[in-house]
Structure 1
Amino acid sequence: MKLIFIISVFFVTVMSQNAWMPIVSPLLSWYPCRDDRDINVWFEPGLKPKNSNRYFVYVNKQFPKDCKIKISFDSEVDAAFVVRTADNEYSRIYLSEGDTLSLNFFVPHHGLGFIIRGSEPGVTPYLRSFTVDNVEYCKDPVVGFMEPYASKTEEQEWSTCGRRVVDHAELMINGEDTKPGDWPWHAALYKLDKETLNNKYICGGTIISKNFVLTAGHCASYRGAKLEREVLGVILGKYRLKGDDKVSVEKEVLEIILHKDFSYHPLKHDIALLKLSTEVVFTEFIRPACLFRAQDRDKLRSDDIQGTIIGWGFDKSDNLTRALKKASMPIVSEATCLKTNPFFYTRGLNDIYTFCAGDANGTSACNGDSGGAFQVFVPDEIQIGDKDTSGSWHVKGIISNTVARDDAPICDPNYYVIFTNVESYIDWIEEHIY
């Protein structure tokens, strides 16, 4: 819930540097809005954890009489303003438990300064909007600039990728329901129908950082053209497809990044990143997955890779499932796929950018599963024998395409599935998320 605080400000002033900022140096500065250099922040690196998400904001603008200022952040903040009263005395006003601040200036004034700190430990609030009389001065906000400098806290340890918190069993049974929290990095993608104004579930995705969800290119496009970001929504921490989950969080998409060589027909370079408009707060039910890299192969028990897919895709009744399902399947050789349907797999497979997986036994990815991950459990240490070991889940592939039935545009579960090979796109992913 957004809480809005309204301050009637007779005169807001920036105090001397010693009053506003710590004496310890050096201070680092940043422009939190790419499109406006009048808004500037300063922060001190290396502070103790409880203060590591604190910074100072100064807006070097002329504010007219009776103007209304609205400042929004991507998470809840504690804010401190220094106000000069009619008696020329200074007082500091503290606000908390909200992510939006509203101020009224009853006299013209130049400049506005204040201190911001995240209400939740380990979560740094970033400026999302700054309007004066409904005119937006921060159309292109910047997030994450303090992450390299903020001290680690217990809350930030949620960012450890690919590890569950909720108790679970590692054994996989094809098509079996999962439990809430089993796959906390799985995301649900929804598309807005502009005619009915209803949101329709379209695909899955995977949380890979505080700001990005990984999915298939065809999930973020229509016949090859990138979707408008406003029509795409993401829900994290969701278990049941219909109805509200108390632990789920809805996110808007700030930017859709399709691979530059993405092709819809034929389907190639089927990969996309969704940059979220606000940072993700990690919980037991919302966490990031790891990305599979070449060196992860060394820790696996054999060269035969077994992976797990999850989703709400079509079941045997050709309907979306109500709760997340999981299935385990092996990666198979390109030759194995080609033998089953040479025409289809010749067009869709590439031994670098895609791979083929499945059992061709009636358990498969289907409509609605696209964009979800083919994930591999990678032990922390090299596996010897069958002993249990700790480890993390790594995204090896993205569900991309499969053979359709003859009687309907619905998957044929007796065929193998084509996956985008994430391992081949690591450089492309890191280029955009870091």
Structure 2
Amino acid sequence: MSVSPRAALSWRLRPATAQALAWCGALAYPILLYVAVLNEREPTGVRLLLPAVLSVLTIPLLRRRPLPALMLMLVGSFAATLTAASKLASAFPLMAPGQAWQIGCLQALLTDLAIAWIAATRTRRTALAAAALTLTEQIAAAGYCRTGRDVFVSTIVFLVLMLALAWLTGYLVQERREHAETVRVQAAEQAVTAERLRIARELHDMVAHSIGIIAIQAGTGRRVIETQPVEARNALATIETTSRDTLAGLRRMLGSLRKAEPEESPLAPASGMSDVDRLVATTRNGGVRVDVEWQGERRPLPMDIELSAFRIIQEGLTNVVRHADTHECRVVIDYQEDELSIEITDDGQGPTPAGIGYGITGMRERAFLLHGQFTAGPRPEGGFRVAARLPVPAGMR
């Protein structure tokens, strides 16, 4: 959408106008404060109203330029305190200079609030410098409001405590904000890392098994294409089916990743234990016979357990096809009351160190994410064994 030049110019002038008004108000603050105190005739608490109202002039500049606003506040505060002390001393000798403390205390409160804002929005060094400058002004002004050594010392202690409280309050606000931002960034980074690992595991489990089957069938077809055309045709059919299934899965995954809102359209159902028979058939086409033994009462489990169990079985069979150099393996799936136990064994040579990649790592991560147990390694009698125990939530037992 295009913006007219007049509208663009108006948009640029608005911030400049607001900033100019803020500077004008803040620069007028010390003068107006001096005049207000100078023209005050009654030494009562009513005279505090106008100095308090005038402090509103510095608020817009304080939000954008805290240090210049603080300097103007200190100048106005010191001038107002001195004016009140000298004026009351000449008009009311018996009450001076203690009555000027009301003006000085009000100005000290306002500058302390400014220090709290600076400590909450600026660096620690800047806030400490501003606090030191403010304390210097307050001590200098206190000498004109209080008489007597003990009274002066107690006044300084009071000013220091109030300023320290204001600075500490602002500093704690800043620390809390920074901590919340750090926690938010860390949570976002952890979420991104977890999502990357999840996608990597899904891609590895989906592609590694299919590519292993395709590679074996392609090699078989190449060897028998001249002597056994039927076997070669079957190998090509297996390659076509496996490729199409893998491509469909990749399309579903990429489609879900491209969506801005995952809830916009339903995704294809995730793989689960009901797909084990299909996985066994695919593995059989790869030249490895799989004997599956179901133990316990089969029942539906939470989606994350179903998916993780299926992927562990899929990756275990993939390792058998690619690395075991055997024609058969055994899978035991045990539905226990409080956990799902999976064991994949074969009598082959097992994966070589060069063949141990992300597969076993991915299986271990899937089990640990569900607070389960995972082991993988050679068997004493020969072959290789993969075992996983995934706990079942109490509500699903």
Please give the range of the TM-score, normalised by the shorter of the 2 chains.
under 0.3
TM-score by length of 1: 0.17
Structure number with larger C-alpha Rg: 2
TM-score by length of 2: 0.18
Relative to its length, the structure with more strand (as a share) is 1
Q: Which has the higher contact order (CA 8 A, sep 6+)?
A: 1
Relative to its length, the structure with more helix (as a share) is 2
